[in-house]
Structure 1
Amino acid sequence: MPRPPGLVRAVSAAAAVTVGVLAVFGGALPAGAVGATAGDTVAAAVAAAESEPNPVVVIGATGLRWEDVGALTTPALWDLSRTGAVGTIAARSLRPSACPADGWLAVSAGARASDLASDPYGTCRRLREPGTDLLVPGWADYLESAAQGNYGAQPGLLGDTLASAGVTATGVGPGAAVALADSDGRPVGEHVRLPATANGLTKTVETALETSQLVVIDVGTVRDPGQLTVDRPASALDTDGDGQPDPGATALPEPGEILEGDLTAPDAVTEPARSEQVRTIDERIRAVLEAVDESGQDTTVLVASLADSGRQPHLQLAAAAGPSALATGEPYEENLLESRSTRQPGYLMPTDITPTILSALDLRDQVTPGALVGSPATGVPGPPLASQRVAAMVDQDRHAWAVRPLVAPFFMLLIVINLILYGLVTLGLNGVVLARLSSGLSRALPGRIGRAVADGMTSQPGMVLGALRIAGVAVASIPVATFLANLTPWWRVQPASYALTALIIGWVAVITALALLPRWKSWLLGPLGVVAAITAAVIAVDIATGARLQISALMGVQPLVGARFYGFNNQAFALFAASTVLLAVAFANPLVKRGRPGWAAAVVAIVGVVATALDGLPSVGADFGGPPALVPAFAVLALLAGGIRIGWVKALGILGAAAAVVISFAVVDWLRPADSQTHLGRFVQTVLDGGIWPVITRKASQNIEILFGNALTLLAIAGIALVVLVLGRPLRAIASAPDGGPFGWLSAGAPLTQLGTDAPMLRPGLVALAIALGIGFALNDSGVVIPAVGITVVVPLLVAACAGWMLSVRPRQPR
């Protein structure tokens, strides 16, 4: 839908002041956007009109990785890596691993799309050439799958755009038929079956380049052993285009029924090896490149592996040569590929192929805004030698593959460690529980041994508190240590899990030692502030400089999932939000104690503004769900630090301010060119197009699914239960005890209410944390991850702070 001129003028005027403020923090607008003049625009338009787009050749495959490439085994790909740009593709579709149909549908729709759920054997559909009616086999399934999904995919978008623009196109092979099909399922332009020989393919492409501006070639697929694609039953096809299965179509297979193409025992012997499949594809790529050279035209060539070779996902091969898809871009030569979708050198998405094609053909503006989720591939500097660039791409896949099996065990271990700490605090150090336990031991063990054990359990409170503070700080340091571990290439060591474990333990030890230096230990919230500062600083600096540490980190971005590659994902936001709130608490606490609430409120506000800007600016954090959580949290914390009570009017004003901030970020991003937008700007376009409900439905379903099916739920519930049990009603009862109640043996009889006096910002800090993590949970998909991850930092640091306070009050108590 075109943007209403009146709306643009109104939004531009309203956003002008916001843009000026936001630019101070990170440059929300692209460099040079303000300085462009009308004359420059006219000149650029005239130059564009006079120039004819270069031909585009897209060579598509599936299952092809850079580790398959060698100077002797795949000479065509090796030569391309020396002269062109290289990258990897995160081929994730709607399932953990992408089938060939999924990858080619992503090119057709410019968005995540997939085939219908596979047959009972979990296999992928074998792509077939269109029949005599020119209808792509399985198109009815593809449309049904898109209708069932919540990603707004429109199979046939590329074909419809080419047809409406009058672009001549030629498709070669079954995958090309899917990519170039219009919304009715028939390829636009001319479709040619894949020739049986390399020479035949060369002649076919040469002929196509004489008449076509776009040539798409499916050069084949690589499949893992036992993962051959199979023919889908005829009932899944609608060859007459009436939306119903054809008369006489067979039913879905019964378990045990053999379909054409199924792998049987004899097939397992004759199945081609991976290396043989790769050589065949390389020969076809060589044939296509020879045709491009013979044409004598300055042609943009894209090579992309669009899907996985089996059920185990890997990063796929991507390469490009010739003129850039963008008029202002550098040629694809001796560098790495990147797109605005990933903002990471060497990483692309399948959905980036369609914008690249359309931009190269100067058709990008003819697509409805918001229909494409990807961005054109561009070249960025990389290692100087081709061998180094290829090695870097292989390294990216090995890194992603090495961390993948470690993520689930790590989170389970983190949950266990936190639960042990929680249990130790709530039960193990409770004086009543210890008294009963020591009484039982003294009766069970004979004589002096029983009395010695019973007395020893409560005779060294100082040692117990010291160990508890160390434990709390160490456990809270684990999340940031997982990011810092990526400073070292642990995945190149075997076994990689041992190397990663050693690095995390080492970083935990370093951070714990820093937090417990004498200078910080004497400050009541010193250790808490140090760990929070390190966590917030590492995440902020990493994201501001490209989010390199997050890639393939245990608590970071997983490329094989194909989600966010830049900015704040849910886990990074949870850690950042919790750490910045705790940091503000640590800074403001001494000011409140000294009777300077105004200064305390100002400090909180400064931390909040910086944190919100880093999180929400499209050029930095690009987080849509973060500012609505951070703004209310820091606003409430600042007001409470200043001694101001919060009523309904102020609460509504805070929520309104949060909405205004996030809308400002999104509108500023929307005002940028389509290919420069992040998901913030695309969300605005989605709202204008009336597509907000599918987005809400998708995020809600993902949130509910994770809430009831993720191990992190256990951690979230346990952490919340601890806060409620220890800091809720039971704590008020214990705190009212003049001798410290069940924990009096640790505090030497000091009442726990004294903690509220010595650390007056702790209670407001807990309120702010509940707001930030609670709103984050409600507004984000996989929202349960936010409170669960935040608790891994918050609760251990609160335990450490309480232990430090008890140590500080003990010397003042009479012995």
Structure 2
Amino acid sequence: MRPGRPGAATALLRAVALLVAVVVGILLLAPPASAAPGESGPAEGPVVVVGMTGVRWDDVSAAGTPALYSLLTDGATANLISRSVRSWACPADGWLAASAGRRAADLPMETWGTCRVLYSPGSDGVVPGWSDYVRAAQEGSYDAVPGLLGESLAARGVRTLGIGPGAAIALASYSGVPVGEWQVRAAAPESLAQRVAAGLAGHDLVVVDAGTVRDRNRPLVWVEPGALQDGTDEEPAGPDLPDSEDWILSAPTRAEQVASVEGRVAAIIDAVRATSPDAVVLVVSLADSGTVPRMQLAGMLGGEGPVPGVLGSSSTRQYAMVQATDVAPTIMALVTGETLPAMPGTPMTTTGPAPDSHLFRLVDAAEHSLAVRPLVPGFFTVLVVVNLLLYAAAALGMNRTILRAMQASAPRRAALGRALLRPDGTTRLLRGLRIGGTVVAALPVASYLANLVPWWRSGSPGLVLWALVVAIALALGALALLGPWRRHLLSPIVVVAGFTSLVLVADVLTGATLQVSALMGVQPLVGGRFYGFNNSSFALHASASILVAMCAAEPLARRGHRWPAAALVAVIGVTATVLDGHPSIGADFGGPPALIPAFAILVLLTLEVRITWRRLGLVLGVSALLAISFSVLDWLRPPEQRTHLGNFIQTVLDGGLWNVIARKAGQNLTNLFGSTLTLLAIAGVIVLVVVVARPLGRAARAEADDDAGSGGRWGARFRAGYDWLRPRSTMARLEQDAVMLRPGVIALATAWTIGFALNDSGVVVPAIGMSLAVPLLLAVVATWLLRVRVANGPGIGARESLRRS
């Protein structure tokens, strides 16, 4: 690499500073998140929160559950994600999320069963099990503080009434004693209605536990003894479910349990309408009915906005989708008009009118999220396997030493070795690599595009989804290899990477709806990210953007127009970074620190500027500063408009940085040592070094034997198998015909390395990035070698290999 002139380097640094200023200016002028619902003041009348667990929209019908169905006709409704600390939420977990405003959960109940029965406070007034809840929160990594909601309401003089054991948890203080007034839930719906009606007269907030629905094979367990309440009109503080060894045979059916909850909800709504017509009623199902996570029910009556309406939240920005962690901010906003920075959720509000198909869409979204869940691990396994097979075909099929060893081995392997050593065998191998690399690289974007078809509604959703993914990948591969651009050396990269980038960018600009419940996209039931770029889509976006920039700059750089080529790379880099890090678009904190250095290095290499430690340090420093600026600018917005970027800054200010680091580091290590994607990342690095980077580097240096002595005798023999790729035969001219190929590989490696270090998904970033880039790079190398064989004769590789052996 030629050292750049000092003047050129200085000008480049000025250009980088100018581009940084442009990015910051774009952020400063950016409007709030377009998908965020509008702000609203406190409710004019009292607020009633009706909580339950295990109730879903597929339990609701006009004839069977008229009170719950009235939420659809007279209010705003949504699916609620009840995800807690674990993959499924117990009743205590859901009510604790309301109490803490964060993910919180009971201690694991595996010793006794699945979930704990909720009890009424005892004679000391403390919620039973409160010490367990506090201990679990302290041992967790979500900085949850049970009692935050109750303490915040009491500090503001809000008059509260809690009815039932779940309400006691939601309104508990830090000590576990419910703030305000608390009552045992009446057994009869009529008596419950009377208590609610009486409570509305002297309270600003009434929270009612309307009951629990459990799967028949997932009963609640009596972890600790509890006393029954006196009086014929009182019922035990536990659920409406029998606790016995005959559970599966004697338990009420799901429909019977839902009917019991429906009766209480109907009584509460009737009481509110009769005594306080201006009250706002929030109905939420806060936890799962078993150990399989499902979307739950949420609805609001009396809120602002059109009726019937769609309930939404800035925490998800998705159609009719809210979270359990949004319940506490919603209560605070409705009762006090305030939001607490310590609560990462956002208030639920009506985002628009509900279409006629609203109930169908609610149930359909829930079924979609449930159907894709078991298919995700299998897809990633297949993705890893097909990539490993492709890498093995490239690394071993191109190695003449291995092929000659196969030729001397067992008859079947000997026949394969002889076939691949023949000129026509090598040609078939290269053609197979070209086709296979292009199609395999199209699998990730095909997994997103498959969501355009409602595959989850079919009788065999898994089979239909796989058929769609394979068909789309084959079609995209055919487009890349058979289109009018097929003779272009970089056509596989241009078409597949360009199409991948186009799909992902178009999706995040329109709300990231294509990613929701996609195989490599956002999984709502995980409750992580609902908008912008998740870790997988970021890896694809970063890799595709770098590959597109590399191909776009190639014609200019090959003609010697280095500055225009560098400018084009910079423009693509700034665009990709803004799209990734903008709070209203990609909302990805870990993306800009990886993208900015990668594109800066690509600009430097395009200009043939030598990369020194000083320049590298400057690039990394500017990248970190710009990444932090994304989050700070988001934090400057009102709390209800912030994304997780601004919430991260607030977490740092609240002293929770180390918990965040520990949680993300733990997840990073778990993925590194417990995921098959690690194999993909390791194999991808080996293939890049052996088949692409090393031959290119040797061609650039024109020193074929400078590393022949390293790695021992076996390593030397293994590398000697690739001597037919040495400068005199092929790779020297590849450096001339694809001058941006090596800079592109270096930029990719930079983005993957930093992304691996900074993202909680760790190895997912380089592995997913390699699943796109490495097959395409192999396809380009195979295309080039095929051209050389056509131009110089089909036996050139074999002849030179035999000459050196």
Alpha carbons of structure 1 residues 495 and 443: separation in structure 2 relative to 1, 3 Å? closer
Check the 8 A contact 1:19/1:668 in 2, yes or no: no
Check the 8 A contact 1:434/1:457 in 2, yes or no: no
- Cross-structure match for 1:129: 120
1:769 to 740, 743, 748: 748
1:372 to 335, 343, 357: 343
The letter of the residue matching 1:290 is: D
Q: Distance in 2 between matches of 1:622 and 1:492?
A: 31
Do structure 1's residue 226 and structure 2's residue 217 form an aligned pair?
A: yes
Q: Distance in 2 between matches of 1:643 and 1:377?
A: 53
Per the TM alignment, residue 171 of structure 1 is displaced from its structure 2 partner at its CA by 0.6
Per the TM alignment, residue 741 of structure 1 is displaced from its structure 2 partner at its CA by 6.6
- Cross-structure match for 1:169: 160
Alpha carbons of structure 1 residues 456 and 765: separation in structure 2 relative to 1, 3 Å? closer
Per the TM alignment, residue 692 of structure 1 is displaced from its structure 2 partner at its CA by 1.4
1:98 to 79, 89, 113: 89
Alpha carbons of structure 1 residues 648 and 266: separation in structure 2 relative to 1, 3 Å? closer
Check the 8 A contact 1:438/1:454 in 2, yes or no: no
Do structure 1's residue 402 and structure 2's residue 371 form an aligned pair?
A: yes
- Cross-structure match for 1:360: 334
The letter of the residue matching 2:201 is: E
Per the TM alignment, residue 616 of structure 1 is displaced from its structure 2 partner at its CA by 0.4
Check the 8 A contact 1:748/1:813 in 2, yes or no: no
Q: Larger deviation: 541-550 or 111-120?
A: 111-120
> In the TM superposition, what are the counterparts of 1:64-463 in structure 2 within 5 Å?
64-233=55-224, 264-324=244-304, 330=305, 333-365=307-339, 367=340, 369=341, 371-381=342-352, 383-385=354-356, 388-440=357-409, 454=419, 458-463=423-428
Matched position secondary structure for 2:210 = strand
Per the TM alignment, residue 752 of structure 1 is displaced from its structure 2 partner at its CA by 2.2
The letter of the residue matching 1:166 is: G
Per the TM alignment, residue 91 of structure 1 is displaced from its structure 2 partner at its CA by 0.7
- Cross-structure match for 1:754: 733
Per the TM alignment, residue 668 of structure 1 is displaced from its structure 2 partner at its CA by 1.1
Equivalences, count: 747
- Cross-structure match for 1:676: 641
Check the 8 A contact 1:28/1:668 in 2, yes or no: no
Per the TM alignment, residue 74 of structure 1 is displaced from its structure 2 partner at its CA by 0.9
Q: Distance in 1 between matches of 2:379 and 2:43?
A: 54
- Cross-structure match for 2:31: 27
The letter of the residue matching 1:21 is: I
Per the TM alignment, residue 23 of structure 1 is displaced from its structure 2 partner at its CA by 5.6
Structure 2 length normalisation: TM-score? 0.88
Q: Distance in 1 between matches of 2:435 and 2:85?
A: 44
Per the TM alignment, residue 153 of structure 1 is displaced from its structure 2 partner at its CA by 0.7
Q: Which segments of 5 or more consecutive residues in structure 1 lack a partner in the other structure? A: 1-14, 33-43, 238-259, 325-329
Q: Distance in 1 between matches of 2:416 and 2:152?
A: 85
Question: What's the % identity of the aligned pairs?
Answer: 48
Q: Larger deviation: 723-732 or 664-673?
A: 723-732
Q: Distance in 2 between matches of 1:296 and 1:166?
A: 21
Per the TM alignment, residue 569 of structure 1 is displaced from its structure 2 partner at its CA by 0.9
The alignment's C-alpha RMSD in Å is: 2.8
Alpha carbons of structure 1 residues 285 and 759: separation in structure 2 relative to 1, 3 Å? same
Matched position secondary structure for 1:459 = helix
Structure 1 length normalisation: TM-score? 0.87
Q: Tell me the alpha carbon deviations over residues 215-258 of structure 1, each in whole angstroms, 9 at most, x when there is no partner.
A: 11100010001211112136x99xxxxxxxxxxxxxxxxxxxxx
The letter of the residue matching 1:610 is: T
Q: Tell me the alpha carbon deviations over residues 650-681 of structure 1, each in whole angstroms, 9 at most, x when there is no partner.
A: 11211121112112211111111010001111
Matched position secondary structure for 1:520 = coil
Q: Distance in 1 between matches of 2:281 and 2:487?
A: 64
Per the TM alignment, residue 264 of structure 1 is displaced from its structure 2 partner at its CA by 4.7
Q: Larger deviation: 53-62 or 402-411?
A: 53-62
- Cross-structure match for 1:563: 528
Q: Distance in 2 between matches of 1:428 and 1:143?
A: 59
- Cross-structure match for 1:4: none
Q: Tell me the alpha carbon deviations over residues 610-669 of structure 1, each in whole angstroms, 9 at most, x when there is no partner.
A: 000000010111111100000000001011101111212211211121112112211111
Alpha carbons of structure 1 residues 478 and 138: separation in structure 2 relative to 1, 3 Å? same
- Cross-structure match for 2:711: none
Q: Distance in 1 between matches of 2:417 and 2:402?
A: 18
- Cross-structure match for 1:59: 50
The letter of the residue matching 2:269 is: L
Q: Larger deviation: 415-424 or 680-689?
A: 680-689
Per the TM alignment, residue 188 of structure 1 is displaced from its structure 2 partner at its CA by 0.9
2:560 to 576, 585, 595: 595
Q: Distance in 1 between matches of 2:265 and 2:49?
A: 10
Check the 8 A contact 1:55/1:213 in 2, yes or no: yes
Alpha carbons of structure 1 residues 501 and 30: separation in structure 2 relative to 1, 3 Å? closer
Per the TM alignment, residue 814 of structure 1 is displaced from its structure 2 partner at its CA by 4.8
Do structure 1's residue 792 and structure 2's residue 771 form an aligned pair?
A: yes
Q: Larger deviation: 114-123 or 124-133?
A: 114-123
Q: Distance in 1 between matches of 2:433 and 2:730?
A: 19
Alpha carbons of structure 1 residues 295 and 485: separation in structure 2 relative to 1, 3 Å? same
Per the TM alignment, residue 696 of structure 1 is displaced from its structure 2 partner at its CA by 1.1
Q: Tell me the alpha carbon deviations over residues 5-59 of structure 1, each in whole angstroms, 9 at most, x when there is no partner.
A: xxxxxxxxxx9986643366x5357899xxxxxxxxxxx9xx97xx874211111
Per the TM alignment, residue 811 of structure 1 is displaced from its structure 2 partner at its CA by 2.8
Q: Distance in 2 between matches of 1:418 and 1:638?
A: 30
Alpha carbons of structure 1 residues 150 and 362: separation in structure 2 relative to 1, 3 Å? same
Q: Tell me the alpha carbon deviations over residues 579-633 of structure 1, each in whole angstroms, 9 at most, x when there is no partner.
A: 1111111111221111111111111101100000000010111111100000000
Per the TM alignment, residue 357 of structure 1 is displaced from its structure 2 partner at its CA by 0.8
The letter of the residue matching 1:180 is: L
Q: Distance in 2 between matches of 1:314 and 1:286?
A: 24
Do structure 1's residue 584 and structure 2's residue 549 form an aligned pair?
A: yes
Alpha carbons of structure 1 residues 280 and 62: separation in structure 2 relative to 1, 3 Å? same
Q: Tell me the alpha carbon deviations over residues 312-351 of structure 1, each in whole angstroms, 9 at most, x when there is no partner.
A: 1100111111023xxxxx25x2121110000001111101
Check the 8 A contact 1:19/1:28 in 2, yes or no: no
Matched position secondary structure for 1:320 = strand
Q: Distance in 2 between matches of 1:544 and 1:401?
A: 26
Alpha carbons of structure 1 residues 622 and 186: separation in structure 2 relative to 1, 3 Å? same
Alpha carbons of structure 1 residues 601 and 733: separation in structure 2 relative to 1, 3 Å? closer
Per the TM alignment, residue 792 of structure 1 is displaced from its structure 2 partner at its CA by 0.5
The letter of the residue matching 1:432 is: T
Per the TM alignment, residue 383 of structure 1 is displaced from its structure 2 partner at its CA by 4.4
Q: Distance in 1 between matches of 2:308 and 2:572?
A: 43
The letter of the residue matching 2:752 is: L
> In the TM superposition, what are the counterparts of 1:329-728 in structure 2 within 5 Å?
330=305, 333-365=307-339, 367=340, 369=341, 371-381=342-352, 383-385=354-356, 388-440=357-409, 454=419, 458-727=423-692
Check the 8 A contact 2:597/2:751 in 1, yes or no: yes
Check the 8 A contact 1:461/1:746 in 2, yes or no: no
Matched position secondary structure for 2:615 = helix
Per the TM alignment, residue 261 of structure 1 is displaced from its structure 2 partner at its CA by 8.8
Matched position secondary structure for 2:220 = coil
- Cross-structure match for 1:240: none
